[in-house]
């Protein structure tokens, strides 16, 4: 398995993986393994790749997972993310508001159903930590409270903290946070 930065040739495969896992396209049974709350366009993927990072897990030319990481400045154009970023004023992480840190936003992340539980999430996360070391102090993610599989993978699996949450259009989200070693 190769974990690397995405190139423009990967974008169509990322869009397919994204569509398959978008909340509105999943049946009730598949929702239990997690879902994506938002869909990006091809142009937005390119902008994310040029902002902080767009990473892929690829095997023999097949894209099996991807992970987006972006600045608050870029993501604040999306209403759900703007609400999350506003909550950074009041959510404390190690005694200080999240807003006071040099912070970026982790996610969305998605692993192909056929390859979940096989270390791809951890592989993408570790490459991301290497890519951003020295550039940011803290990463923050949001996960829907209706997505316990993702919450467990990130909190119990990757060791992220859960310092607070927010509400957007009647749905509740947890905010996860993790520190970056420089
Ligand atoms: C959410 C998602 C990215 C998680 O990926 P995954 O491959 O299913 O995650 P895993 O089950 O392998 O869990 C990740 C790590 O957490 C560990 N973990 C999971 N549950 C755990 C628990 N209860 N206690 C301790 N560790 C746990 C796993 O062992 C794994 O660690 P490892 O790589 O060292 O084995 C994936 O299911 C997915 O893409 N779902 C659809 C889209 C989605 O929900 N995206 C997230 C939106 S917020």
Element (H, E) at 180: none
Of 80, 111, 171, the residue with max ligand 1 atoms within 8 A of its CB, to mutate for a pocket test, comes to: 111
**If the chain, 182 residues long, is cut into consecutive pieces of 10 residues, what is the mean pLDDT of each piece?**
98 98 93 92 98 98 97 97 98 98 98 97 98 96 96 98 97 97 82
Atom nearest to 120 CA in ligand 1: 7
* 134 conformational bin, left if phi > 0, alpha if psi -120 to 50, beta if neither: left
Which atom of ligand 1 is least distant from the CA of 152?
20
Atom of ligand 1 nearest to the CA of 65: 39
The residue whose CA has the least distance to atom 33 of ligand 1 is 119
Helix (H, G, I), strand (E, B) or coil at 39: coil
List, as one string, the DSSP characters of 79-93: HHHHHHHHHTTT-EE
Site residues for ligand 1, CB cut-off 6 Å: 21, 33-36, 107-111, 116-117, 119-122, 143, 147, 149-150, 152-153, 156-157
Other beta carbons within 10 angstroms of residue 165's beta carbon come to 16
pLDDT the model gives residue 70: 98
Find, among 97, 127, 94, the residue nearest to 109 by Cα: 127
Which of 117, 142, 160 to mutate for ligand 1's pocket (most ligand atoms within 8 Å of CB)? 117
Topology of the domain covering 2-179: Aminopeptidase (3.40.630)
Q: Whose CA is nearest to atom 40 of ligand 1?
A: 34
């Amino acid at each position: 398995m190769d974990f690397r930065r995405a190139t423009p040739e990967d974008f169509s495969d990322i869009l397919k993986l994204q569509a398959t896992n978008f909340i509105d396209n999943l049946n009730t049974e598949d929702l239990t393994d997690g879902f994506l709350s938002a869909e990006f366009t091809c142009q937005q993927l390119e902008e994310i790749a040029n902002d902080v990072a767009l990473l892929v897990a690829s095997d023999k030319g097949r894209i099996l997972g991807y992970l987006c990481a972006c600045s608050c400045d870029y993501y604040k154009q999306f209403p759900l993310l703007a609400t999350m970023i506003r909550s950074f004023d009041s959510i404390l992480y190690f005694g200080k508001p999240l807003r006071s840190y040099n912070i970026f936003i982790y996610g969305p992340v998605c692993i192909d159903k056929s390859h979940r539980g096989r270390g791809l999430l951890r592989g993408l996360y570790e490459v991301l930590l290497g890519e951003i070391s020295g550039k940011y102090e803290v990463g923050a993610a949001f996960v829907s409270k209706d997505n316990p599989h993702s919450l467990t993978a990130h909190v119990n699996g990757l060791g992220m903290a859960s310092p607070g949450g927010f509400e957007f259009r009647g749905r509740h989200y947890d905010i996860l946070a993790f520190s970056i070693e420089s």
